[in-house]
Structure 1
Amino acid sequence: MSHPSQVTDVAALKEKIAAELAAVRHRSLAYTDADDELLMRQHSPLMSPLVWDLAHVGNYEELWILREVGGITPLRPEIDELYDAFKHPRSGRPSLPLLGPDEARKYIAGVRGMALDVLDRMDLAHPDPLRAGGFVFGLVMQHEHQHGETMLATLQLSREPGLVQEGDLPPGRSPGLAAAPEVHIPEGIFVMGAGANPWAYDNERPAHRRHLCGYWIDRYPVSNAAYAAFAEDGGYENSRWWTPQGWEWVQSKGISAPLFWTEDGGDWWRLRFGREEPVPPDEPVQHVSWYEADAYARWAGKRLPTEAEWEKACGERTYPWGDAEPSLDQANLAHRAARPAPIGAFPSGASPYGVEQLVGDVWEWTDSWFQPYPGYRSFPYKEYSEVFFGEEYRVLRGGSWATHPSAIRATFRNWDLPIRRQIFSGFRCARSED
């Protein structure tokens, strides 16, 4: 199916938007289909209780679709501050007078019904940028999908089994039987950032020309087996591989392996959604921080790619393979399975340069700080991007197995603190030309 932003017929576009809204709500309700105690409990100070996320997506929808665009009188103005992500840190949200699960479900259902009424009467050709092409619906939809991924991270931290659906993935290809493990990207100018995509975020804009020297980038993300070799070689015990801040973090927190990994008699095990299992050697490593990714790259004699290098490797397309929506043989997205796919599982998803698995499987840390592009303009609100710019957050690219296709593209920029690893994060390496 076409991405909603690519549908030109107004009736078809509205029908598509309504279908996508239904799909994302089905996902949110599925991840919160659990007993009230689990939804109300905080499973980690890094994350909100699941019931907060559930009501928050509805409150966000009310703010932007009902009030900002629809001009509708606030339904529950007294809860706005409770669900404002900037008013209360995640660690303190359990103490707030949050809506209970049943009340939250009733609230978001009411908001959705009114949002569909706004969609029905909206002029999608209106010059207002919130209305044009249905931008506000893309804003709300992507936001809810992002919280769907956040909910999955919370469910992983809960360590409770049986809450997350499994699925099948294609087999991988042995890197030794494929092409060279690195791909050369030649020197030259490329266009970085979002162009015509009307649903791209402000931090992806404006599109601009960038010159890059030639470089090499890994064909695949770093695998569990490769990362285990780093750990087994004393990677966590040797300060030479770490930045001073990273080494302090490792020492103070007693870090010795990726999050959820344990070693038993020389074998690596992981906890995945409440189940203990051997670490699959051929999957991309996930749940690693930027510090760990950077240390591995140094140990391997390489470095992390900049986000410009990562994006250029995609080939200046909506997705590495082209502009068509992801198919099952191109990427591991949308919680097809609750884990990354094996290395080499998607040869048809390769970029024109031959770089594979750039989209899906794991978010990939880059060496870049989250900074604005030249000519950046905040829209529709500064708190989405602008307040995070600086040298505190590192950029991640590409999405993970938990990311929905409507919330990812080659230009999409994610960001997080370099210590974070509860997210579905991995990486690949790069190196400059000799």
Structure 2
Amino acid sequence: MSENKKADKIVGVKGMNDILPADAPLWELFENTVQSVLKSYGFQQIRTPIVEPTALFARGLGEVTDIVEKEMYSFVDTMNGDQLTLRPESTAGVVRAALEHNLTYDGPKRLWYAGPMFRHERPQRGRYRQFHQVGAEAIGFTGPDIDAELIMLGQRLWDDLGLQNIRLELNSIGNADERNRHRADLVAYFEQHKDLLDTDAQRRLHTNPLRILDTKNPTMQEMVNGAPKLLDYLGEESRAHFDGVQNILRHNSIPFTINTRLVRGMDYYNRTVFEWVTDQLGSQGTVCGGGRYDPLIEMFGGKPTPACGFAIGVERVLELMKANGEKFDPNQCDVYVVHQGEQAQLRAFVIAERLRDAGLDVVLHCAAAGAGGSFKSQMKRADASGAAYAVILGEDEIAKGMASVKTLRSADTANNQTEVEFDAVPDYLLDQITCGDGCDHPEHHHLH
């Protein structure tokens, strides 16, 4: 490369977004809240690989689903010829792990996961090619009670996040026999109205007709509303299960709407299906989808084992949190350490480590490209860091064996600096920051 030629800039993959430091507090708040809620219901975390055998998703999701047909990032491992796929969802991987490691040998398991998923879709608001999900899977539970518990867990999460414009839609898709009877009548109904079906619906008519019920095409709505309803095909057991879920939700004052068009395109779902939806995100209005998938473990070669779960679209929930006016503390640290001169720098490192030993978050000023190292420029950085205090070390302080401690968030600028002996700085600052149970300083909250 010639000296004058500038290297081409490499940018990220379309639809796979960077999460920048300014957004990190929002993600951390969400992740901490989710982890706390899941733990309060007895769920344990499981972490499965991002890459799985392609056959796992083809078998679990169904060969004719949109995900398997056109959305999966699949490739051949050039080292050994294995067919591999970046996971488009996590339920199949969690069930694979539970079966492979015999996790339910000593009883049912409540599991949860979090991480990135990958689908080759057209990127738009709330829908990305790398996106993040948090999910819960309850494996080995047979009754309607676990379905209701998962829904109530979701309600608690929205409450803890302060989100109010999310509503619950509920349906039952019965068992395979009930769906087959409904499917036959559904196909016959759609064939009678074939002139109204769009290209997608015609493609799905004989492969996945349930998905036609989920169409957003406005010209098809009236026709689809008149289609046979799966609820009318439920047998006694399926109906009793669905009634059981509703009874628990009503008894706990969880509002819901029965949406008879709520279906699943994946082969492994049965009985209860539910979605948490919002009107605040345009076309990507589903923030959490879930339901029961009793057949899946047997489809993967295990003994028949009931299961139920949900997955939350993290980016969509974060959009709602932003719309809700969620505010975040920009503070990088509690204390910013400013220094001038070689001896002061050495002492600054010692004091910074002692402050960290005391549980404080500390930024020690280090030389920056193109930036001056004067006290004035360092104090500007200290102020911008959001720190509550600056510790200042210069030649005068070193000569006296003292450090200057400056309060950066005080209205009283005339009396906001004091000198403290080197060894006493950690205790002094800790006393200032953790100033009693009645402290109402927001910058001190993480220390109480």
Q: Hey, which of these two has a bigger chunk of strand by percent?
A: 2
Higher relative contact order (CA 8 A, sep 6+): 1
**Fold conserved between structures, TM > 0.5:** no
TM-score range, shorter chain: under 0.3
Q: Is the helix fraction higher in 1 or 2?
A: 2
Q: Structure 1 length as normaliser, TM-score?
A: 0.27
Structure of greater Rg: 2
